[in-house]
């Protein structure tokens, strides 16, 4: 008989289970707090039934001191319980924030850019915020509702029945709140994601919006998206707030109803005067957790949806396990029949590409726009996984390496250069905290950017600003080239590295490629300008995602030029009308 498949444990559940002892402590404190909540009812019962008939001031003072002490301990326990729940939320965040951040980074490479990239972070914030609020305390108090109802029944059956009817109504109202708030909360989350995505996109493209007069139009679109979000959020708030107001009114009505029932019983001499006040306070206390739960239901629904989304995301993108360390690559790059499909898409844009390069080789990749050149180089550096085929370094497929280990052997300059907030030195060294200044300077010199950097206001300590805004496009590209060359990686992949370079930058790029080849590296360059492939010895031509030519540069260039400009035979017509070449 086949064994049942193992059930995959939830990472969020595992993180929360590490706080089991804290929850046990909160449960014990909730027990003590709810027992201490009887203080007010019992105090009023004793005052009306003992102090007033006996007119004993010492008894009143003693009861007041006892009640004050119990209220004090109740407040301390309530404070500690809130602090513990806040720490639980913080502990959950601390155990998952690294994993969530890694997921945010990997998500565009797995599912594409068709989602709100920061939603997992907001989901984690929503779960943490709810755990740190008063909502969980209400849920810990809810199981004590039968306990309070039982005490109401000990006062008198009529008081117990009145409280029971009120409890049934409020619990039913809680279920209605759950049913009615689920869809609006989900809709509000989706509208918020669309609004935030539009704002982030507009911020990244601010120069285009201003220069081309698109700012007003995009502002109108954002206002419309924001109005939709506000309307959706208002619907969710109206439902939760309206039902919360109804619950509050019902609780106050119930308290008055218990007073009326108690007065009726006293009139008919079936209860003492103290039971009127004590029953009213106790019934109100019994239903307070229900009232509080309804008030925090919106946060609970949002946290539950966030929990569900995070669980699904972490299951789809499991944590990468530690992989065996392989020898540093040093001899060969082989591409074995790879086909590429963009993340989140289904269309094959690179198909059946096969080639191999030895150490010291440089490959130029050329072809018309949209032929799949950038998609191919993304596969070479491991950021996109091939739909079919394998990319290997020294015979080992890239997926046998962890990204952190593999990244030390790869230099990558993408088509769209992105620098990070930090110093020039930090960007070149890939933010290595143990970076060697000699290696940073060596990479900068190899990229031909050293002289440019030392002329900056703070040299290598110059802050580049968010996305490299304090540098020109050419400077940013040359700093990014130095980052790709840092640490003498074995495989260097440059996607249109000279798109923003001047003549001096082109010469520096050519020198850098030749220097890398001399030390035994493999260089792959995507280029649209002849100067970009000046230092390569191999050439690959892509057309419509397929490999049309591969081989030595001179041979392939001759084939390409022959196809573009085929020789036209010259015909000479003799006097006799016979054509001769």
Q: Are residues 267 and 359 in the same domain?
A: no
Q: Are residues 286 and 435 in the same domain?
A: no
The answer to whether residue 581 sits within a structural domain is: no
Q: Is the pLDDT of residue 561 over 80?
A: no
Cross-strand pairs, 463: 423
Q: Are residues 405 and 277 in the same domain?
A: no
The answer to whether residue 412 sits within a structural domain is: yes
Task: Specify the range with the lowest mean pLDDT, choosing from 217-231, 233-247, 260-274, 392-406.
Answer: 233-247
Structure token pair of residue 13: 């559940």
Q: Are residues 64 and 150 in the same domain?
A: yes
The answer to whether residue 4 sits within a structural domain is: no
The answer to whether residue 325 sits within a structural domain is: no
- pLDDT tens, 522-549? 999 998 777 778 889 899 999 888 888 8
- pLDDT tens, 290-334? 777 777 777 787 888 888 888 888 887 777 665 666 778 888 999
Q: Are residues 493 and 390 in the same domain?
A: yes
* CATH code of residue 309: 1.20.1560.10
Q: Against a cut of 0.75, is the pTM above it?
A: no
482 falls in which pLDDT band (50, 70, 90)?
A: very high
CA dihedral 336, 342, 343, 347 (to 10 degrees): -100
Q: Are residues 534 and 414 in the same domain?
A: yes
- pLDDT tens, 448-472? 889 999 988 888 998 887 666 678 8
- pLDDT tens, 69-94? 998 998 999 889 888 888 888 888 88
The answer to whether residue 580 sits within a structural domain is: no
pLDDT computed for residue 321 by the predictor: 63
User: Average pLDDT for residues 129-144, to the nearest whole number?
Assistant: 83
* CATH code of residue 402: 3.40.50.300
How many Å apart are CA 517 and CA 364, to the nearest integer?
13
The enclosing H or E element of 443 equals: helix 437-446
DSSP, residue by residue, 167-197: HHHHHHHHHHHHHHHHHHHHHHHHHHHHHHH
User: Average pLDDT for residues 328-357, to the nearest whole number?
Assistant: 87
Q: Are residues 307 and 341 in the same domain?
A: no
pLDDT computed for residue 502 by the predictor: 77
User: Average pLDDT for residues 470-491, to the nearest whole number?
Assistant: 88
The answer to whether residue 570 sits within a structural domain is: no
Q: Are residues 292 and 387 in the same domain?
A: no
Domain count, the chain: 2
pLDDT computed for residue 578 by the predictor: 43
46 falls in which pLDDT band (50, 70, 90)?
A: confident
Q: Are residues 344 and 474 in the same domain?
A: yes
How many Å apart are CA 391 and CA 382, to the nearest integer?
8
Q: Are residues 81 and 191 in the same domain?
A: yes
The answer to whether residue 3 sits within a structural domain is: no
Instruction: Assign residue 8 a region (left: φ > 0; alpha: ψ between -120 and 50; beta: otherwise).
Output: beta
Q: Are residues 292 and 413 in the same domain?
A: no
pLDDT computed for residue 440 by the predictor: 92
Q: Are residues 158 and 295 in the same domain?
A: yes
The answer to whether residue 1 sits within a structural domain is: no
How many Å apart are CA 578 and CA 354, to the nearest integer?
49
Task: Give, in degrees to the nearest 5, the angle at Cα 33 between 30 and 34.
Answer: 85
579 falls in which pLDDT band (50, 70, 90)?
A: very low
pLDDT computed for residue 116 by the predictor: 58
The domain in which residue 20 lies consists of 11-316
CA dihedral 291, 136, 145, 279 (to 10 degrees): -50
How many Å apart are CA 228 and CA 223, to the nearest integer?
9
486 falls in which pLDDT band (50, 70, 90)?
A: very high
């Amino acid at each position: 008989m086949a064994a049942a498949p193992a059930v995959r444990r939830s990472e969020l559940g595992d993180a929360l289970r590490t706080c089991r002892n804290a929850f046990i402590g909160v449960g014990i404190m909730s027990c003590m707090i709810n027992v201490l909540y009887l203080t007010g009812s019992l105090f009023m019962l004793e005052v009306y039934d003992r102090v007033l008939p006996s007119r004993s001031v010492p008894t009143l003072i003693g009861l007041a001191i006892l009640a004050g002490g119990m209220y004090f301990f109740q407040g301390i326990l309530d404070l500690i319980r809130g602090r513990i729940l806040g720490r639980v939320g913080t502990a959950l965040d601390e155990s998952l924030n690294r994993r969530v951040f890694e997921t945010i980074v990997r998500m565009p490479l797995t599912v594409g850019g068709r989602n709100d990239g920061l939603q997992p972070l907001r989901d984690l914030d929503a779960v943490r915020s709810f755990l740190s609020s008063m909502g969980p305390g209400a849920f810990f108090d809810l199981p004590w509702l039968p306990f309070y109802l039982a005490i109401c029944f000990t006062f008198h059956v009529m008081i117990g029945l009145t409280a029971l009817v009120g409890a049934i109504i409020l619990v039913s109202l809680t279920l209605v709140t759950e049913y009615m708030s689920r869809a609006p909360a989900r809709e509000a989350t989706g509208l918020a994601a669309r609004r935030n995505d539009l704002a982030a996109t507009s911020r990244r493209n601010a120069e285009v919006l201003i220069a081309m007069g698109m700012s007003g139009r995009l502002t109108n679109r954002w206002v419309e998206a924001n109005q939709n979000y506000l309307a959706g959020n208002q619907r969710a708030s109206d439902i939760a707030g309206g039902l919360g107001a109804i619950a509050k009114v019902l609780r106050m009505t119930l308290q008055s109803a218990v007073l009326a029932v108690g007065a009726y019983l006293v009139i008919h001499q079936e209860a003492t005067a103290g039971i009127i006040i004590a029953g009213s306070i106790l019934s109100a206390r019994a239903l307070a957790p229900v009232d509080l739960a309804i008030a925090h239901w919106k946060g609970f629904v949002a946290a539950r949806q966030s929990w569900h989304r995070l669980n699904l995301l972490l299951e789809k993108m499991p944590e990468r396990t530690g992989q065996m360390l392989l020898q540093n690559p040093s001899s060969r790059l082989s591409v074995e029949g790879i086909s590429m499909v963009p993340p989140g898409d289904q269309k094959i844009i690179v198909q059946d590409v096969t080639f191999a390069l030895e150490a010291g080789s440089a490959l130029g990749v050329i072809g018309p726009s949209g032929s799949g050149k950038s998609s191919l180089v993304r596969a070479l550096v491991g950021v996109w996984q091939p739909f079919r085929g394998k990319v290997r370094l020294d015979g080992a497929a890239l997926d046998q390496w962890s990204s952190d280990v593999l990244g030390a052997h790869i230099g990558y300059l993408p088509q769209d250069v992105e620098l990070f907030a930090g110093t020039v030195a930090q960007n070149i060294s890939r933010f290595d905290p143990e970076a060697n200044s000699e290696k940073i300077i060596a990479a900068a010199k190899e990229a031909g950017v050293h002289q440019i950097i030392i002329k900056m206001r703070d040299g290598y300590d110059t802050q580049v600003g968010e996305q490299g805004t304090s540098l020109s496009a050419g400077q940013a590209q040359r700093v990014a080239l130095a980052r790709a060359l840092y640490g003498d990686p074995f495989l260097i992949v440059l996607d249109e590295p000279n798109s923003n370079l001047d003549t001096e930058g082109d010469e520096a790029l050519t020198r850098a490629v030749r220097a890398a080849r001399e030390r035994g590296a493999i260089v792959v360059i995507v280029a649209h300008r002849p100067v970009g492939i000046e230092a390569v010895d191999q050439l690959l031509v892509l057309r419509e995602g397929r490999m049309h030519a591969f081989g030595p540069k001179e041979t392939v260039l001759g084939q390409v030029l022959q196809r573009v400009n085929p020789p036209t035979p010259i015909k000479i017509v003799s006097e006799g009308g016979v054509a001769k070449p």
